[in-house]
């Protein structure tokens, strides 16, 4: 069995995978009443919840009294927030020493893509829409390549910032989604206009952010109508960029990943686009869309089976990679 550890941002998670099956996938999320993530606090949270999350993950996998079933530890090496990544690295190093097992460093973004295999997707374009990240990734010529990405902030952070400004707390995504469902018929026929910014396969949100803030402050529109217009406009940008990536790569599958991928309307829009182009749309279970250790352990096992791990004697030299890019990763585990 392979143990996975996730700690890149606000979520701390531990999972156990055996033979491509996720036996347990336990998460604990650091939240704030107002404001965003305080990196040191989030890292502190990860250290505090570790013992409990570890115990629960082993119990759920049925190995509470049999730690020796763990043959290796996969951990999120990057990208992410440095103090959070360091918390995960320290935990990984200690566990590796104690259990005397090797370590498999994992790129978090690629794990979001590889876990898509559980949905049946074989060679998809990934629309990775999370808090900090917004990228369109696909495998081509030996690497995972970023075909398009945000030029400023991640789509989730953009939505969360708007929600915070509207005073409805964090995370804002699910709240904005609920508000959008209550939008007026009028706005559904005639959206409140927001900057639609897409260049090739890249997108940008800061124009829409400024405009939304102004509209909110003007108190001219109900929050429901603003939320609706936000979703329709911003998601259309993501879907358009994804469609271009499908056309460019000639791939026939679109996979969604990241917390914003939980949004039902975004999923619906992706599905419509895919149907229109004769492509298939895949969306993992919620537990694998948000940050989770299941995907880390899952990819970890694939690498482990290809002998791509760091022996326990060399584990002390491992470091975090806060800025690791998807296309920096040498993909030597694929045939």
The token pair that represents 48 in the structure block: 């505090």
d(CA 335, CA 72): 22
CA distance 220 to 235: 23
Asked if 10 is part of the footprint of ligand ATP (rule: CB under 6 A), the reply reads yes
Separation in Å, CA 215 to CA 209, 222, 233, 235: 10, 10, 15, 19
Interface pattern 273-302 for Fe ion (x via CB under 5 A): ------------------x-----------
| Residue 257 to residue 243: CA distance in whole angstroms | 16
The DSSP secondary-structure symbol of 310 reads B
Q: What is the largest CA-CA distance in the chain?
A: 65
Per CB under 6 A, 83 contacts ligand ATP: no
Count residues near ligand ATP (CB under 6 A).
25
Select from Fe ion, ligand ATP, none the partner in contact with residue 269, using the beta carbon and a kind-dependent cut-off of 5 to 8 Å.
none
Q: Which stretch binds ligand ATP (CB under 6 A): 46-54, 130-138, 200-208, 319-327?
A: 130-138
Give the residue with the Cβ less far from ligand ATP, 50 or 158. Answer: 158
* Distance from C-alpha of 95 to C-alpha of 49, rounded to nearest angstrom: 15
Q: Which position has the token pair 């939008």?
A: 183
Residue from 124, 259, 284, 294 touching ligand ATP (CB under 6 A): that is 259
Asked whether the beta carbons of 261 and 174 are under 8 A apart, the reply is no
Q: Is 38 in the site for ligand ATP (CB under 6 A)?
A: no
Query: Quick one: 209 or 263, whose CB is closer to ligand ATP?
Result: 263
Residue written as tokens 């639609």? 196
The yes or no reply on residue 263 touching ligand ATP (CB under 6 A) is: yes
Q: Is 284 in the site for ligand ATP (CB under 6 A)?
A: no
- Name which of 101 and 262 has its Cβ closer to ligand ATP: 262
Cβ at position 189, least distance to ligand ATP in Å: 23
- By CB under 6 A, tell whether 230 contacts ligand ATP: no
**Contact present, 185 and 224 (Cβ < 8 Å):** no
Distance, in Å, from the CA atom of 289 to the CA atom of 74, rounded to the nearest integer, reads 18
Size of the site for Fe ion (CB under 5 A): 2
- Contact status, residue 7 vs residue 296, Cβ threshold 8 Å: no
Q: Is 27 left (phi over 0), alpha (psi -120 to 50) or beta?
A: beta
Q: Is residue 149 a contact residue for ligand ATP (CB under 6 A)?
A: no
Please report how close the Cβ of residue 133 comes to ligand ATP at its closest, in angstroms: 4
- From 2, 132, 256, 293, residue interacting with ligand ATP (rule: CB under 6 A): 132
Tell me how far apart the alpha carbons of residues 234 and 173 are, in angstroms, rounded to a whole number: 13
At closest approach, how far in Å is the CB of 235 from ligand ATP?
9
**Strand 2-6 versus strand 72-78 pairing type:** parallel
The contact mask relative to ligand ATP for 95-114 (x = CB under 6 A, - = no) is: -------------x------
In whole angstroms, the minimum distance from the beta carbon of 130 to Fe ion comes to 4
DSSP 3-state of 203 = strand
Q: Catalog residues that contact ligand ATP under the rule CB under 6 A.
A: 8-10, 80, 108, 130-133, 154, 156, 159-160, 171-174, 177, 258-260, 262-263, 290-291
Q: Catalog residues that contact Fe ion under the rule CB under 5 A.
A: 130, 291
């Amino acid at each position: 069995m392979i143990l996975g550890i996730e700690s890149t941002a606000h979520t701390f998670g531990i999972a156990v995978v055996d033979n491509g099956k996720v036996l347990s996938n336990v998460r604990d999320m650091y939240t704030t009443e107002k404001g965003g993530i305080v990196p040191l606090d989030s890292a502190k949270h990860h250290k505090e919840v570790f013992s409990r999350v570890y115990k629960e993950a082993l119990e759920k996998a049925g190995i509470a009294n049999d730690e020796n079933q763990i043959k290796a530890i996969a951990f999120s090496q990057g990208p992410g927030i440095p103090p959070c990544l360091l918390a995960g690295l320290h935990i990984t190093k200690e566990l590796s020493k104690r259990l005397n097992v090797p370590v498999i460093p994992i790129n978090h973004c690629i794990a979001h893509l590889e876990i898509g295999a559980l949905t049946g997707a074989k060679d998809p374009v990934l629309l990775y829409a999370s808090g900090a990240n917004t990228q369109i990734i696909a495998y081509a010529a030996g690497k995972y390549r970023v075909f398009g990405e945000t030029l400023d902030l991640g789509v989730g952070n953009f939505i969360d910032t708007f929600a915070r400004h509207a005073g409805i707390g964090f995370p804002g995504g699910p709240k904005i989604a609920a508000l959008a469902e209550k939008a007026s018929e009028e706005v559904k026929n005639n959206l409140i206009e927001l900057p639609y910014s897409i260049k090739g396969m890249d997108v940008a949100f800061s124009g829409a952010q400024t405009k939304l803030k102004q509209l909110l402050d003007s108190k001219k529109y109900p929050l429901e109508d603003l939320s609706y217009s936000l979703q329709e406009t911003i998601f259309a940008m993501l879907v358009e960029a994804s469609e271009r990536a499908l056309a460019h790569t000639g791939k026939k599958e679109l996979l969604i990943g990241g917390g914003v991928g939980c949004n039902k309307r975004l999923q619906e829009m992706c599905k419509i686009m895919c149907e229109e182009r004769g492509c298939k749309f895949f969306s993992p279970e919620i537990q694998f869309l948000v940050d989770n250790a299941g995907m880390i352990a899952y990819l970890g096992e694939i690498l482990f089976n290809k002998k791509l791990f760091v022996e326990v004697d060399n584990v002390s030299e491992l470091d975090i990679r806060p800025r690791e890019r998807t296309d920096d990763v040498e993909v030597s585990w694929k045939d």
